[in-house]
Amino acid sequence: MPTVKRDTYTPDSLLSVAVRVFNERGYDGTSMEHLSRAAGISKSSIYHHVRGKEELLRRGISRALDGLFGILDEPAAREGRAVDRLEHVTRRTVEVLMAELPYVTLLLRVRGNTDTEVWAMGRRRDFDQRVAELVKQAAAEGDLRADVDARLATRLLFGMINSIAEWYRPERAGAGAGPGAGAGVLDASAEVADAVLRTAFAGLRTG
Amino acid sequence: MPTVKRDTYTPDSLLSVAVRVFNERGYDGTSMEHLSRAAGISKSSIYHHVRGKEELLRRGISRALDGLFGILDEPAAREGRAVDRLEHVTRRTVEVLMAELPYVTLLLRVRGNTDTEVWAMGRRRDFDQRVAELVKQAAAEGDLRADVDARLATRLLFGMINSIAEWYRPERAGAGAGPGAGAGVLDASAEVADAVLRTAFAGLRTG
């Protein structure tokens, strides 16, 4: 049987192509034909890997959610004063967003009505809710100012964090290809996380 | 000549319908047919008001831009220490975003390649640039912390402000319809602006 190109995709590499196309065209605007062209393999080869595009959406979003919920299980997110746990979760959320940029971008853009999209929006709300609980607890412990509503503070904090996906592009962050590029991404991620922590928790004003 | 419905639209009321449809369906996904159906008047009636959908886009975006650039001409944005001017611009940007929500939402979502979209993205960059200059000047005057890069601080500040468009819905903010509703919107706007200023400039931490 003839194929467009020999199918050497792994589940992860096919997912990476699909998520890129979803982010470029929007999930609704992406057909199996678009995925087939972007991957350079036939539609039937794609069906060999997955049941359809919704499975690719679910896998892409799961990767983002696994990274984000994984943060909440880290010791520094579970032990200590709420404000310190909140700062840890904030830093790590920035790091996961930047390390898993295409997958988190996909999660953040989900708006639709398929089962997978409804599920993704629910899981995202669960994560926001867990962070909102930390904000409330930190305020109750007297470590966060009382004159900003906890729900509003959480929204503004996520507004700042999630906006990073709008402008951060890893290819610009590193010092080009080669051994230094990976370290460049890590440095950028630490610098951005520091800036978010300083802005949100200590404030930009000096005096 | 028969029409779908008597055309009683003013330029402003037709624009309001068009911007709502653009925000719901995306500008690319909106046809003159969609606009005709949403407005309840024929396409030729719409062409009586405007040359086409791109003119409606340009008018909608102009309304947002006029509000935003108007802020920079206010006395409190032009006189005094840069940090105080910056705080004024931040507060007023939140207020304009909330008062002109559909129009600013349209501006924030623009991504495309038509002349109008390219122009809108350029004007938005100009506005961000003007605010970035204030951030730089305030840092140079020693009023903003030196360990957060001015460009990054500006991006995080706008990330926080622009994210308000994702969740703020005026109909939920007021105490229902009637004489109180307008005041409700004003109160919500002041509360959110206070929260943004406190978070970004003073920081959420107490001690």
Contact in structure between B202 and A205 (CB atoms under 8 Å): yes
Whether pLDDT at B100 is above 60: yes
pLDDT confidence of residue A182: 53
Give the A:B interface size as CB pairs under 8 Å: 122
DSSP secondary structure letter of residue A199: I
3-class DSSP state for residue A178? coil
- Chain A CB contacts of B166 under 8 Å are 159
The domain ranges of chain B are 11-50, 60-202
B160 and A164 within 8 Å at the Cβ level: the answer is no
Per-chain mean pLDDT for chain A: 90
Task: Give the distance from residue A52's alpha carbon to the nearest chain B alpha carbon, in angstroms.
Answer: 24
Whether pLDDT at A180 is above 50: no
DSSP secondary structure letter of residue A148: S
Chain A residues near any Cβ of chain B (below 8 Å): 83, 142-145, 147-149, 152-153, 155-164, 166-167, 191-192, 194-196, 198-207
pLDDT digit string, tens, across residues A81-102: 999 999 999 999 999 999 999 9
CA dist A69 and A64 (Å) reads 9
Residue of B148, B163, B207 lying closest to A198 (CB–CB): B148
**b/e code B172-206 from CB counts within 10 Å (16+ = b):** ebbeeeeeeeeebbeebbeebbbbbbbbbbebbbe
Whether pLDDT at A174 is above 70: no
B205 and A201 within 8 Å at the Cβ level: the answer is yes
- Helix then strand count (H, E) for chain A reads 11, 0
pLDDT confidence of residue A170: 87
B199 and A162 within 8 Å at the Cβ level: the answer is no
Whether pLDDT at A177 is above 90: no
pLDDT digit string, tens, across residues B137-177: 999 999 998 889 999 999 999 999 999 999 999 876 544 44
CATH class assigned to A77-202: mainly alpha
Check if the interface score ipTM surpasses 0.90.
no
pLDDT digit string, tens, across residues A42-53: 999 999 999 999
B186 or B79, greater pLDDT: B79
pLDDT digit string, tens, across residues B39-59: 999 999 999 999 999 999 999
Query: How long a stretch of residues is chain B?
Result: 207
Contact in structure between A46 and A34 (CB atoms under 8 Å): no
CATH class assigned to B11-50: mainly alpha
Mean pLDDT to the nearest integer, B190-206: 92
In DSSP terms, B144 is beta-bridged to: A205
**b/e code B19-38 from CB counts within 10 Å (16+ = b):** bebbbeeebeebeeebbbee
Q: Over pLDDT 70: what percentage of chain B?
A: 90
Contact in structure between A199 and A161 (CB atoms under 8 Å): no
Whether pLDDT at A61 is above 90: yes
Tell whether the torsion through CA atoms of B51, B52, B56 and B62 is positive or negative: negative
- Please tell me the CATH superfamily of domain B60-202, with its number: Tetracycline Repressor, domain 2 (1.10.357.10)
pLDDT confidence of residue B179: 47
In this structure, how many other beta carbons lie within 10 angstroms of the beta carbon of residue B7? Answer: 16
Continuous segment of H or E residues that includes residue A198? none
Q: Do A77-202 and A11-50 have the same topology in CATH?
A: no
pLDDT confidence of residue A4: 57
